């Protein structure tokens, strides 16, 4: 129950943040967002009707298609996300009259960042706001196409329409905004506090593991391995650390075993018990 409430809150806040980005940065400079909201903004510039209302109108046939071809599961959650976003866009349309940024490039960057934060909050709890997500799900199910390819194709059409209506310069700024939005979305979904996984192969695994626990305050795991050439069995040390702790870990391992073999890799997200050690061991 609490998980469902948390999801609704995150989707609601994410939709509101995305709506603020559209009205405060994108619309005043004739910039577009991606997906169905981008199409709605184009129609807004052509017919003057509210963006949120047009997002709802464009989603009606998409929701019908989702119900018919995908099934009713998660339709209510998607409907909630779409309505919150659409109503938020129209509720905050007064922001488009506020000239908070004069430079279109700065507006594209700020709009992309804030839109990315909103979208990331929604995707982080496995939510969505309908639109392109529905199209991608249908196309993937029946035609086997990649979801990213579908989104890219739609955004190319939006970019082309932007170039025709507002010129190549604003189309390029829209592209910049979309790119920044995508990158920030990934960061929010993955988490800004990036972790690293480190695999250490050494003749001193027990001493290295104990030092990691005592000096760095991280847990360590032993993996059993065997040298392909020597056939000798080894204990491999596996540890997850923060980015800022890499240098200290390298120095500690080198001080114990200068010939240790280390592999450092990115970890998008770390969950579960055991990442931190409550107290140092003495």
Q: What is the pLDDT of residue 275?
A: 55
Note every long-range contact of 160-164, with CB atoms under 8 Å and residues 24 or more positions apart, other chains counting. 161/32, 161/42, 162/31, 162/32, 162/42
CA dihedral 180, 181, 187, 188 (to 10 degrees): 150
Contacts of 49 by beta carbon, 8 Å cutoff, 6+ apart: 43
Q: Report the pLDDT value the prediction gives residue 279, as an integer from 0 to 100.
A: 42
Mean pLDDT lowest among 162-171, 173-182, 188-197: 188-197
**Taken in order 48, 162, 31, 62, is the CA torsion positive or negative?**
positive
Asked if residue 100 has pLDDT above 90, the reply is no
Render pLDDT for 113-125 as a digit per residue (tens, 0 to 9). Answer: 999 999 889 888 8
Is residue 146 scored above 60 in pLDDT? Answer: no
Average confidence (pLDDT) over 207-231: 89
Q: Say whether pLDDT at 2 is over 60.
A: no
Q: What is the pLDDT, as a whole number, of residue 24?
A: 94
185-204 per-position pLDDT tens digit: 878 877 666 688 999 999 99
First to last CA, the chain: 42
Give the pLDDT confidence of 51-95 residue by residue, as tens digits.
Answer: 999 999 999 988 887 777 766 666 777 888 899 999 999 999 999
Q: Average pLDDT in the 93-107 region?
A: 90
Mean pLDDT of the chain: 84
Three-class SS of the chain: CHHHHHHHHHHHHHHHHHHHHHHHHHHHHCCCCCHHHHHHHHHHHHHCCCHHHHHHHHHHHHHHHHHHHCCCCCHHHHHHHHHHHHHHHHHCHHHHHCCCCCCHHHHHHHHHHHHHHHHHHHHHCCCCCCCHHHHHHHHHHHHCCCHHHHHHHHHHHHHHHHHHHHCHHHHHHHHHHHHHHHHHHHHHHHCCCCEEEEEEECCCHHHHHHHHHHHHCECEEEEEEECCCCCCEEEEEEEEEEHHHHHHHHHHHHHHCCCCEEEEEEECCCCCCCCECCCCCC
Most confident of 15-29, 61-75, 123-137: 15-29
Does residue 281 carry a pLDDT above 50? no
pLDDT value, residue 79: 86
Residue 280, pLDDT score: 43
Read off the pLDDT band of 278 (50, 70, 90).
very low
Tokens of 179: 């790119």
Q: Give the pLDDT score at 267.
A: 77
pLDDT value at residue 180 = 92
What are the chain's domains?
A: 2-190 (no CATH), 195-267 (3.30.70.120)
| Residues 109, 178: Cα–Cα separation, whole Å | 9
Give percent of the chain with pLDDT exceeding 70: 85
User: 28-41, pLDDT tens digit by residue?
Assistant: 998 988 888 988 99
Say what the pLDDT of residue 258 is. 92
């Amino acid at each position: 129950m609490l998980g469902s409430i948390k999801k609704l809150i995150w989707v609601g806040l994410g939709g509101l943040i995305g709506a603020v980005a559209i009205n405060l940065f994108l619309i005043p400079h004739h910039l577009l967002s991606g997906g169905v909201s981008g199409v709605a903004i184009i129609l807004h510039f052509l017919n003057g009707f509210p963006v949120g209302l047009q997002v709802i109108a464009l989603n009606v046939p998409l929701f019908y298609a989702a119900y018919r071809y995908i099934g009713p599961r998660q339709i209510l959650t998607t409907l909630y996300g779409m309505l919150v976003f659409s109503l938020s866009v129209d509720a905050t349309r007064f922001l488009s009259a506020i000239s908070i940024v004069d430079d279109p490039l700065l507006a594209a960057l700020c709009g992309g960042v804030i839109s990315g934060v909103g979208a990331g909050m929604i995707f982080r709890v496995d939510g969505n706001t309908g639109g392109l997500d529905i199209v991608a799900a249908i196309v993937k199910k029946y035609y086997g196409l990649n979801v990213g390819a579908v989104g890219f194709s739609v955004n190319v059409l939006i970019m082309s329409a932007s170039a025709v209506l507002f010129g190549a310069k604003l189309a390029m700024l829209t592209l910049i905004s979309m790119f920044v939005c995508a990158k920030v979305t990934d960061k929010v979904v993955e988490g800004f506090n990036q972790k690293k996984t480190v695999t250490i192969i050494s003749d001193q695994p027990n001493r290295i593991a104990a030092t990691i626990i005592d000096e760095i305050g991280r847990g360590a795991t032993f993996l059993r391995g065997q040298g392909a050439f020597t056939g000798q069995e080894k204990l491999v040390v596996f540890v997850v650390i923060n980015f800022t702790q890499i240098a200290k870990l390298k120095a500690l391992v080198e001080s114990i075993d200068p010939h240790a073999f280390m592999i450092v890799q990115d970890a998008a997200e770390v969950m579960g018990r055991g990442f931190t050690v409550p107290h140092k061991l003495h």
